[in-house]
Each structure stands twice: as C-alpha cells, then as structure tokens.
Structure 1
Amino acid sequence: MVPIHGLNGPGLDEVGLCAWIAQAEPGETLVYHRGFLAVDATSVVSRLSSEQQSSLQQVAAAAMRAADQGLVHLVQTRLGPDEFAYIAIARPRPGPPGAPLSMRLLEAA
C-alpha cells in the first residue's frame, strides 16, 4: 500500500493518480487521501488551504471516474475518530487485449 495524500503528507494531484492507475498491477493499492474526505473538501469546515481543497476535489473526482470506468475499486477504512484512509485498488484492465489504457483514462476525464 502506498500512502500519498493526506493532511500531513505530500499531495497527490490528478495526473499523479492517473499515472499510478496506468502502471499499477491488479490488486495494488494506493491511499489517495487520509482524513475525512467530505469535510476536507468542503471550504466551510476544512482545515486544508483552498489550493489543497481544490486538488483533493480533483483527485477524488478522478478516482470516481476511474472506478466508473472499471479501472479501480474504491474503498475506505476507518483509522480513528473522523479519520479514514481512502484507497484505490487496481483492477484487471478492462477491454480487449492491447486496448490503450491512456484512451480509457482520457475518456474518463
């Protein structure tokens, strides 16, 4: 498991998430956020800067699009009170063999 994004860690942007999806083997996991996503992405209650909130919103939207395309499973696990790890799990590549993943990621954008 590779932790990437959280209140105290380095940020992951949408491009970084897509790059991970493109190279991840089925079953590999990535923690794309650690905290409380609904709170952290909402300007009224978030402790993140507006730039971090925007980045988090983009990463979360990209993760959801990738899940909709069948590229990842999205799960979460509770770490403590009001703290969760949001995890993407790489799935086997959909589509015919040789189908370019970059095209599927672009379609999901």
Structure 2
Amino acid sequence: MSNTIIPFSTARLRISEIDFCGWLGQATPGDCLEYHRGFLALDGMPMATRLPPKDRTELLKLGRRAMWAAEQGLAHLVQRRHGPDDFSYLAVARRKPKSSPVSLSALLAEEVA
C-alpha cells in the first residue's frame, strides 16, 4: 500500500473580481486583503477543484485581476502557507503611481475595450 496523500482542498470563493477591484480602488498603502485561501493552481483546475464551476470561473478571473494589479504596480501579491495545499493569497496595496494621472476605473475600462 502506498503512502500517497490525496490533497483536500479548503477552497471556497471568498470574494469576486468586482469586490477585489472595489477594494483596490479604496485601499491605502499597506492595506492587506486575503483574496483566496486554498491552493490557487489546483483550485482553478476543473479536475482538481472542489469549487462549483461558476465559482471556479470567478476564481480564475480574480486570479488574473490580482496579477494585473501587481503588474500595474497597484499591489504586491504574497502567500502565507498554513499547511499542505493550504495557502492564503494576499494582496497588499501599494502607493498609487504618481506619474499616472489615469484612475483605476479608467485603467479597467481601457482593458475591457
């Protein structure tokens, strides 16, 4: 008999992409938001997640939006490990770039277009 450990996902959808954008727009530097708890890489996969399909799709959008925020210099993304396959995914707000006169809503609208 093998000692293979089958991971149990603690994932559940905590916030939506829209909630994340709202937080990002109002956050002050240093504010921290846990936007997911579980194992993001697995929780986004149809065969590995315990999330319902609608929540999995929303989680993928949320993950992409968090990465976008980091690429725009709006947030740092960090992880806190709690145990095997159990992480808190955190966004830490950064100071808004002074060189960019464009608002967050304008950046989001530009991306959609």
Shared fold, TM over 0.5: yes
- For the 8 Å contact 2:11–2:39, the answer to whether it is kept is no
Q: Distance in 1 between matches of 2:71 and 2:110?
A: 11
Gaps of 5+ in 2: 1-9
User: Of the two, which has the highest radius of gyration?
Assistant: 2
1:21 is aligned to 24
Sort the Cα spacing of 1:49 and 1:42 in 2 relative to 1 into closer, same or farther, 3 A: same
In the alignment, residue 83 of structure 1 is paired with which amino acid? Answer: D
TM-score (norm 1): 0.84
- For the 8 Å contact 2:81–2:87, the answer to whether it is kept is yes
TM-score (norm 2): 0.82
SS in 2 for 1:52: helix
Gaps of 5+ in 1: 1-5
2:81 is aligned to 78
SS in 2 for 1:85: strand
User: Superposition RMSD on alpha carbons, in Å?
Assistant: 1.9
Name the % identity: 43
